[in-house]
Amino acid sequence: MAKDRKIDVVILGLLAHEDLTGYDIKKQIDGAISFFWKGSFGSIYPALGEMEKQELVKRKKSDKSSGREKIVYQITKDGKETLKAWLNDEKAINDLKYETLLKMYFGGIQDRSVTIRNIEIFEQQVKENLEVLKFYKGNLEKVLDNEDHVHYYLTVLFGIETYEAYLKWCNKAKKIMKEK
Amino acid sequence: MAKDRKIDVVILGLLAHEDLTGYDIKKQIDGAISFFWKGSFGSIYPALGEMEKQELVKRKKSDKSSGREKIVYQITKDGKETLKAWLNDEKAINDLKYETLLKMYFGGIQDRSVTIRNIEIFEQQVKENLEVLKFYKGNLEKVLDNEDHVHYYLTVLFGIETYEAYLKWCNKAKKIMKEK
DNA sequence: CGTCACATGTAAGCGGTTACATGATTCC
DNA sequence: GGAATCATGTAACCGCTTACATGTGACG
């Protein structure tokens, strides 16, 4: 597994829960995971190919029930060990790149109305995302008997907690910009 | 300016406040900005070179008071306009990549103690960062008469608000992991 | 006198996205 | 029959980091 390529571990993590095709993996990443990680076909398929060679994943004998080609992947014992080793590794890179904050930081050369506008755009996005997360939360609460779901739940709670903090900040920031 | 290269706008933003060398720019980025954006010498120097060609920045006549080579850059009128156009552009990509959340999401295959450990590591980092941000906050509050500083202040408030939310989440998450 | 901070720059490589190419299947 | 979705894969390109190369100035 490539040293700093995390898509491998995302795929491994998803396959640890259930067998999936590359296409399925992409859909999963575009769901709840997309709030803290992203991935495209252009990275998923090559990664699957490489991990197959390394025997971290393997193809399930394709069920020919439907005629269309469809490669279902399964995690191997080695794959599970790789995943566990990563989970046990204390190093975790948490990286935030917020263009909105850049626009706050450098907003001083413009009229304050521009910054207020940028806060409002951000606020709108956050509100929409918060709705989605609350929907996920409601769904997960029905199935918390499953250990994996409890873990998914943690990330959803994280999202809600931070997005609510964002909203609080939006109000504070707008207030400051409207002062004086 | 390259379409999706944001380092240009970071440099422009910093130069709008004061004239700086490439080295100075790097130091600034490693300060308060590092909480929401990063940049290395390997991207700063080439960007400065290209932007000089495009006349978004220019070299200040080097003061030869000290013998060592030192290129101080200044923003041009075109540079300021580019910066303003970007501030007025409603599109803003806000991207979060948290390996810690990935470890939460996929933590189900391991003992809960592993997830708790990962939460604690995260919590420790957040606490340290929060200290730094509070220090920045204290410093900025003394100089809020400057419009740029008010804008810097907004980003520091954002950091504090979200990091405090992270800490709240850490407690919740640890509690859930210790249940049952 | 050695080490650290200052200072500028280049080259290789990496992880990733975007766009393209291709084709089957499902559903209205 | 046409559109949307399912499904896999490749190639070009991009922004960026890491590591390297080089040298000066300040300080204990």
The pLDDT of residue A74 is above 90: yes
**Element (DSSP H or E) covering residue A140:** helix A112-141
> Of B22, B34, B27, which Cα lies nearest the Cα of B59?
B22
Residues of chain A with Cβ-Cβ distance to B33 below 8 Å are 102, 105
- Model confidence pTM above 0.75: yes
The pLDDT of residue B175 is above 90: yes
Q: What is the mean pLDDT of residues A95-112?
A: 98
Q: What is the mean pLDDT of residues B147-166?
A: 98
Contact B102 A35 (CB under 8 A): no
List residues bridging with B95 in a β-sheet: A97
Tens-digit pLDDT profile for residues A142-180: 999 999 999 999 999 999 999 999 999 999 999 999 997
Q: Which sign, positive or negative, has the C-alpha torsion B78, B93, B29, B140?
A: positive
pLDDT at A131: 97
- CB < 8 Å from A in window 145-164 of B: 147-148, 150-155, 157-158, 161-162, 164
Q: What is the mean pLDDT of residues A4-26?
A: 97
Report whether A36 contacts A86 (CB < 8 A). Answer: no
Report whether B74 contacts B59 (CB < 8 A). Answer: yes
List residues bridging with B20 in a β-sheet: B73
The residue in chain A having the minimum alpha-carbon distance to the alpha carbon of residue B39 is A97
Higher pLDDT, B11 or B66: B11
- pLDDT confidence band for A3 (50 / 70 / 90): confident
Residues of chain A with Cβ-Cβ distance to B106 below 8 Å are 9-10, 12-14, 16, 83, 87, 151
Q: Which sign, positive or negative, has the C-alpha torsion B51, B55, B57, B61?
A: positive
**Element (DSSP H or E) covering residue A94:** strand A94-98
pLDDT at A2: 78
pLDDT at B2: 79
- pLDDT confidence band for A68 (50 / 70 / 90): low
- Percent of chain B residues topping a pLDDT of 70: 96
In whole angstroms, give the CA distance from residue B139 to residue B156: 11
Tens-digit pLDDT profile for residues B77-87: 999 999 999 99
pLDDT at A63: 56
Interface mutation target, options B75, B124, B158, chain A, most CBs of A under 10 Å? B158
In whole angstroms, give the CA distance from residue A142 to residue A19: 23
The pLDDT of residue A62 is above 70: no
